[in-house]
Amino acid sequence: MYIAKVVGNIVSTKKEDSLVGSKLMILKMIHASSLDNLIVAVDLVGSGVDDYVLVSCGSSARQTFLNKEIPVDAAIVGIIDNFDERMIKDGIRC
């Protein structure tokens, strides 16, 4: 899992059927310095903009769904109450 900050949301009226009803959020991975480190994740816990969240990536993200074939490679699986930012290393990527 990774730590990220929710920086926005996405509205998509047309998408893969398995994603209908899913809330999509834009995340900035912690200590990432460029726009290349923005990702889109399915929100499973009801996070909001400016929340720090736990993100599961890759096949681990798909394990949170009944349909393991869903086209998701990042899922928000927790909202962080607090953390020691000094412990996070640079270069976190999904």
Cβ atoms of 88 and 31 closer than 8 Å: yes
C-alpha 32: how far from chain center: 14
pLDDT of residue 84: 80
Residue 24 has, within 13 A of its CA and on its CB side, a CA count of 17
Strand ranges inside 31-72, DSSP E: 38-43, 52-57
* 2-86, CATH topology level: OB fold (Dihydrolipoamide Acetyltransferase, E2P) (2.40.50)
pLDDT of residue 90: 52
pLDDT of residue 52: 95
pTM of the model: 0.82
Instruction: Name the phi and psi angles at 57, rounded to 5.
Output: -125, 160
The domain segmentation of the chain, as residue ranges, is 2-86
The segments of the chain whose pLDDT lies below 70 read 31-36, 64-68, 87-94
pLDDT of residue 63: 74
